[in-house]
Chains A and B, each alone.
Chain A
Amino acid sequence: MKITFTINGEARSIDTDGEAPLLWVIRDGLNLKGTKYGCGKAACGACTIHVDGMQVRSCSYPAKFAEGKEITTIEGLSRGDKLHPVQQAWMDEVVPQCGYCQPGFMMATAALLNEIPNPTDEDIDNNIINVCRCATYYRMRKAIHKAAALAAQNPSE
């Protein structure tokens, strides 16, 4: 079936099996490789993207549900050359180790800050449930607080 949506600000149409995971469309159909395949059962969060501003696990999101929606992947998080506060904080705190799961964490964090601009540690623990096998959680916690501070300094971002 033909599915039309906006991804990272660009209108796209693609022919695909409507039941196929949106992750396949993003990675194989649109060649956006930043979003990762992890567990394949919506548990680890490596495939996290935004659909109409809400985070979803794209490995478990049928492509047909993307019809008419606005999708954001890690490639679309920045505004041109201007890094998103989450990306800047991730670099400043040197968060990644192997890095595989980090795009999912960054998308989850961006979604969190949209809803809770200044999250507490408890907010972070409750809302960020992705899995990092390198256990970079403590660096991520620092980066999330830093991202909140950076976003507060530049509210338009």
Chain B
Amino acid sequence: MNTTKILYSIFLGLVMSSLILWSSDVNTSDHIIVPPTEIENSPFDLMMQVLTHQRCVNCHPAGDRPRKGDDSHITRSLGIPRGNDGHGLQSISCGTCHTTQNNDYSGVPGAPDWALAPESMTWEGKTRVEIAEQMMDPQRNGGKTPQEIMKHLTEHELVLWAWEPGIDAEGLPREKPPVSKEDFIKAVKEWMASGAIIPEA
């Protein structure tokens, strides 16, 4: 009888311990939905390697002036404020110097719709997570749906110019983003398809 009681107590103890451990797993599973850190070479990582590159950030600057070059500097010739629509001021605009194509004679870059991103889409100085949150927030991204954001990132000629940036005034090729265009497009589509999950900061 005593032996049966002891075995029963051990059995109950094991059951209770299992329940406690299972319950603790349930608690941590809340954090598994959103990865606690970024994963190297994940779609999010590949996408952000491009979006934080100066080819993108130079036209998503903090403040009111476009940046220039691989060191993202400001020059007097680029001292034109963004204006109301990101295209400059009344009599001097982006189109005063930039056309719809790169210019190998002057080294002035160009692409269709050459302009600054809206002020609500400032990226300079922001973390990857902040950029992603901003990009997916219709209040700040110009009311765009995830589908429209994906189209902008993977099809817009101004975005894809980053992989055809031409030469500068010294005739030297501009630096391209560290991820190929094909891999970037694939990464963006995969990230969107998997729910556009933004890792925790």
Residues of A within 8 A of B (CB): 19-21, 40-44, 54-57, 59-62, 65, 108, 111-112, 114-116, 126-129, 131
Contacts and interface: CB of A to CB of B under 8 A. Distances in A.
* Range of interface residues on B (Cβ < 8 Å): 20 to 34
A115 B90 contact: yes
A59 B91 contact: no
Label chain B's interface by main secondary structure: loop
Given A41-B107, A42-B106, A60 B97 contact: yes
B169 interface: yes
A112 B105 CA distance: 27
Contact of A41 (B80, B90, B169): B169
Given A126-B81, A127-B90, A129-B80, A59 B105 contact: yes
B134 interface: no
B91 A56 contact: no
B66 to A, nearest CB: 13
B142 interface: no
Interface string B91-124: 1110111010101111110000000000000000
A21 B106 contact: yes
A126 to B, nearest CB: 6
Contact of A42 (B93, B101, B104, B108): B108
Contacts of B106: 21, 40-42, 57, 59-60
Nearest to B169: A41
A108 B91 contact: yes
A135 to B, nearest CB: 13
A129 B77 contact: yes
Contact of B90 (A20, A21, A59, A116): A116
B73 interface: no
30 contacts: A19-B105, A21-B103, A41-B108, A42-B77, A42-B108, A43-B75, A43-B76, A43-B97, A44-B77, A54-B96, A55-B91, A55-B92, A56-B95, A57-B106, A59-B105, A60-B97, A60-B99, A60-B103, A62-B99, A62-B103, A65-B99, A111-B92, A112-B91, A116-B90, A126-B81, A126-B92, A127-B89, A127-B90, A128-B92, A131-B77
